[in-house]
A and B are shown apart, each in its own frame.
Chain A
Amino acid sequence: MKLKMTTLALGAALAAGPAMAELVFPSLSYRTGPYAANGIPFADGYADYFTLLNERDGGIGGEPIRMIECETGYNTEKGVECYESTKGEGALVYQPLSTGITYQLIPKATADGIPVHSMGYGRTSAKDGSVFKNIFNYPTNYWDGASVAIKHLLDLNGGSLEGKKIALVYHNSAYGKEPIRTLEELGKKHGFELSLLPVDHPGQEQKSQWLQIRREKPDNVIMYGWGVMNQVAVQEAANIRYPMDQFIGIWWSGSENDVRPAGDKANGYKALTFHNVGDDFPVFDDIQKYVVDTGKAAGAGDQIGTALYNRGLYAAMLAAEAAKTAQGIHDTKALTPAQMRDGMEALEITEAKMADLGLPNFGPEFTVSCENHGGNGFGAVAQWDAAADSWSLITDYIQSDQDVLAPLVTEDAQAFAAESGIEPSC
């Protein structure tokens, strides 16, 4: 009743005019809630890289960057609010860091013509660029992750997983369910037995799952967890004395915050990653000089060099490089979301380029094309050293099993195209 008036007044207050002369990168972050332990370092890395570009280079191609941060709490309703409130500001690309919100944004952002970059998460079949025009998930995705984990296990077991038992502990959501199909296919191919152990949001209660693991004694446990679920899982694994080097987490289950609570018992825990770890790169000197020393670091400034901080930084770097590419293609400094999309589709990451940015050997090389929005599926395995309190890469970048994955991606993308009436084209 009267409230409608209040709402109107509220809305009027919102109508602050957007300034279009900047490159706007919204950051849908979460610094609160059960996923904050993982959301904070990512958001800090994402923000600090853009701050660095603004401070050191005056933006991208001379055009200043404006990053708008919006708190989602990993909640889809707040994610919708964040998307709607930032898209009018000229947002160039969305990186929601949540598979649920990504699923929500795929149709919306496509209709609005704004690209979405779900780096290593989101809908895997978005790799098929002929169907998902505005959605990108380079350099790698969930199914690649599952395949890389299995390849690593193949390497450890002399090339055969025949008769092995592998348990998948997963977040019972779209995110956690993503790898099931792939692992089932790989199970058929390599002859291992897969058992599924879902963990409900937020994941603080995992006693029964780990009791089952204790009883069934699987040879390996693969985990697709996020937020507080990771810490609890590592702790529970330690409690039942599950051998940590048999326990592999996806890249979202591989941050310092996930293993530290279990102390020394977490030693040897493995997690995948699609970029390098640590802060031994030239770019961190610049971050220290231009961002930290000038007091402009995001958050508490205590996350620099952690696994997820590096990932946030990597995400920002890819976005900035795509923006540079787009500026080159369209010969303009100010970008529209459509031009940004073209830049992302023409993005090429080479070793020389990364070295130039102060990130030598930081991630795999890849090229985005109209057909392939998802990179080449390279991932590496990192292992936690509790005594040194650090991650280290124990393998080279391994490519996922494209023979198995490519047909699955095409199948799922075609199903989506048929369902939503999209004509695949390139």
Chain B
Amino acid sequence: MFYREAGDFSASYEEDSQTFPIKFDRYRYYLVLFIAIAVIPFVINDYWVNSLFLPFLIYAIAAIGLNILVGYCGQVSLGTGGFMAVGAYACYKFMTAFPDVSMLVHVLLSGLVTAGVGVLFGLPSLRIKGFYLAVATLAAQFFLVWLFNRVPWFYNYSASGQISAPERTFFGIEITGPNTQAWATYLFCLMFVIFSAYVARNLTRGSVGRKWMAIRDMDIAAEIIGVNPLRAKLTAFAVSSFFIGISGALFFAVYLGAVEVGEAFGIQKSFLVLFMIIIGGLGSIFGSFAGAAFLVLLPVALKIVGVDWFGWPTDIVAHLQLVIVGGLIIIFLIAEPHGLAQLWRVAKEKLRLWPFPH
């Protein structure tokens, strides 16, 4: 009734192939952007930002990055935590070496460094596939964490081996350190989220993304029709690691402020981001957002309901969280193996026919 393409005419190819071809969809998207950019910054406080928005936004970037590699190019990776650590440590080194440079530059440079490291660890993907590649990236995960723990140069020889973000600015506004404003850190991360989602969406719609998907669907066939597997796989690793590096840099510098590599970027982080894209939907940008939201917001929501509303003991709520999140993951995977994104797609299909389905 509301959601349909009748009367929505495209007069050019551009209009026909845009991301949101249906008018209602497009306006909804603009509305979300408007609320995110122009409404939320005025109403949020420290709690909302540090407990909900920052982790959601940062994990969304990481999920987009991993989704490019796993969802679009079909290269299973368990090295996300390690690549986030590369982003974080690169950002730390840049922040301490060039204190006067804007945070924007630091974060983008950290992404580039991570892209380089990602390509390096992506090289084995030319020879090995599937589970074997997963094991190779797992090695990357452990190697990188070990490296950052082992070589004092990475943490500037601090006694505790921790890295802590000094105060750095972006156009004179403090982005890192203790004296930040909630809206500033929120908008800074949101900017990267919009940038990542925009770039990722358009890459995956273009020829690069089609090559990735060809490799994912059947690499031999792709090679025969002229896709260069070396280039396709390595670009996927590079772009994916770039986004993951950005998320790692933001995770350390803006969100946590002080990081210990083994605890913050361990193997659990790799699994967490992988779960996000599996639950959200492989090969879908919206799925990355949905998955990140699901795994970041659900535990907080359960905690609020259990502890603050019902007054249950904290340990019981923490255990219930594991049970409920685990149970929901299983239910989702059985009921909808293609994730939340597919649910969303089905809902949209239904809406298009509503109220007169066939």
Mutual binders A and B: yes
**A241 adjacent to chain B (CB < 8 Å):** no
- Are A77 and B149 in contact, with the CB atoms below 8 A? no
On chain B, the residues within 8 Å of A198 by CB distance are 149
Candidates B52, B179, B263, B314; contact of A7 at CB < 8 Å = B52
**B161 adjacent to chain A (CB < 8 Å):** yes
On chain A, the residues within 8 Å of B227 by CB distance are none
- Say yes or no: A174-B297 contact (C-beta < 8 A), given A1-B29, A104-B258: no
- Are A177 and B161 in contact, with the CB atoms below 8 A? yes
**B178 adjacent to chain A (CB < 8 Å):** yes
The B interface is mostly helix, strand or loop, or mixed, namely helix
- Say yes or no: A103-B177 contact (C-beta < 8 A), given A10-B301, A71-B315, A84-B46: no
State which residues 230-262 of B face A: CB under 8 Å. Answer: 255-260, 262
**B82 adjacent to chain A (CB < 8 Å):** no
- Are B260 and A173 in contact, with the CB atoms below 8 A? yes
On chain A, the residues within 8 Å of B257 by CB distance are 104, 107-108
- Say yes or no: A10-B304 contact (C-beta < 8 A), given A81-B50, A81-B51, A85-B47: yes
- Say yes or no: A174-B47 contact (C-beta < 8 A), given A76-B263, A201-B263: no
On chain B, the residues within 8 Å of A178 by CB distance are 159-160
On chain A, the residues within 8 Å of B51 by CB distance are 80-81, 84-85
Taking CB as reference atom, which chain B residue is nearest A112?
B178
**B289 adjacent to chain A (CB < 8 Å):** yes
- Are A103 and B164 in contact, with the CB atoms below 8 A? yes
Candidates B36, B159, B266, B303; contact of A201 at CB < 8 Å = B266
Question: How far does the Cβ of B205 sit from chain A's closest Cβ, in whole Å?
Answer: 18
Question: How far does the Cβ of B72 sit from chain A's closest Cβ, in whole Å?
Answer: 20
**B293 adjacent to chain A (CB < 8 Å):** yes
- Say yes or no: A1-B28 contact (C-beta < 8 A), given A77-B55, A104-B257, A108-B257: yes
Candidates B159, B178, B315; contact of A32 at CB < 8 Å = B315
- Say yes or no: A7-B35 contact (C-beta < 8 A), given A1-B28, A77-B55: no
- Are B50 and A84 in contact, with the CB atoms below 8 A? yes
- Are B53 and A7 in contact, with the CB atoms below 8 A? yes
- Are B314 and A29 in contact, with the CB atoms below 8 A? yes
State which residues 164-214 of B face A: CB under 8 Å. Answer: 164, 166-167, 177-179
In the assembled complex, the Cα of A32 lies from the Cα of B303 at a distance in Å of 14
State which residues 17-52 of B face A: CB under 8 Å. Answer: 28-29, 32, 35-36, 40, 44, 46-48, 50-52
Taking CB as reference atom, which chain B residue is nearest A16?
B308
On chain B, the residues within 8 Å of A4 by CB distance are 32, 35-36, 40
- Say yes or no: A7-B56 contact (C-beta < 8 A), given A71-B317, A84-B46: yes
On chain B, the residues within 8 Å of A73 by CB distance are 318
Taking CB as reference atom, which chain B residue is nearest A174?
B160
Interface digits, A5-25 against B, CB 8 Å rule (1 contact, 0 not)?
011101101101000000000
Taking CB as reference atom, which chain B residue is nearest A105?
B258
Candidates B164, B262, B301; contact of A200 at CB < 8 Å = B262
Taking CB as reference atom, which chain A residue is nearest B162?
A174
Interface digits, A180-198 against B, CB 8 Å rule (1 contact, 0 not)?
1100000000000000001
- Are B50 and A80 in contact, with the CB atoms below 8 A? yes
State which residues 143-201 of A face B: CB under 8 Å. Answer: 172-174, 177-178, 180-181, 198, 200-201
- Are A107 and B286 in contact, with the CB atoms below 8 A? no
Question: How far does the Cβ of B146 sit from chain A's closest Cβ, in whole Å?
Answer: 9
Interface digits, A49-75 against B, CB 8 Å rule (1 contact, 0 not)?
000000000000000000001110101
Question: How far does the Cβ of A331 sit from chain B's closest Cβ, in whole Å?
Answer: 31
- Are A173 and B289 in contact, with the CB atoms below 8 A? no
Question: How far does the Cβ of B318 sit from chain A's closest Cβ, in whole Å?
Answer: 4
**B290 adjacent to chain A (CB < 8 Å):** yes
- Are A1 and B47 in contact, with the CB atoms below 8 A? no
- Say yes or no: A412-B159 contact (C-beta < 8 A), given A7-B53, A77-B55, A419-B166: yes
On chain B, the residues within 8 Å of A420 by CB distance are 166-167
- Say yes or no: A1-B52 contact (C-beta < 8 A), given A10-B297, A71-B315: no
- Are A10 and B52 in contact, with the CB atoms below 8 A? yes
Taking CB as reference atom, which chain B residue is nearest A143?
B159
Taking CB as reference atom, which chain A residue is nearest B28?
A1
Known A-B contacts: A7-B297, A412-B159. Give 10 more (CB < 8 A). Answer: A1-B32, A3-B56, A3-B293, A7-B293, A76-B258, A80-B51, A84-B46, A100-B162, A111-B178, A178-B160
Q: Which 10 pairs show the lowest CB-CB distances between chains A and B? A: A31-B315, A111-B178, A107-B178, A174-B160, A71-B314, A3-B293, A32-B318, A81-B51, A84-B47, A71-B318
Can you name 7 A-B pairs with beta carbons within 8 Å? Answer: A32-B318, A32-B319, A40-B315, A107-B164, A107-B178, A108-B257, A174-B161
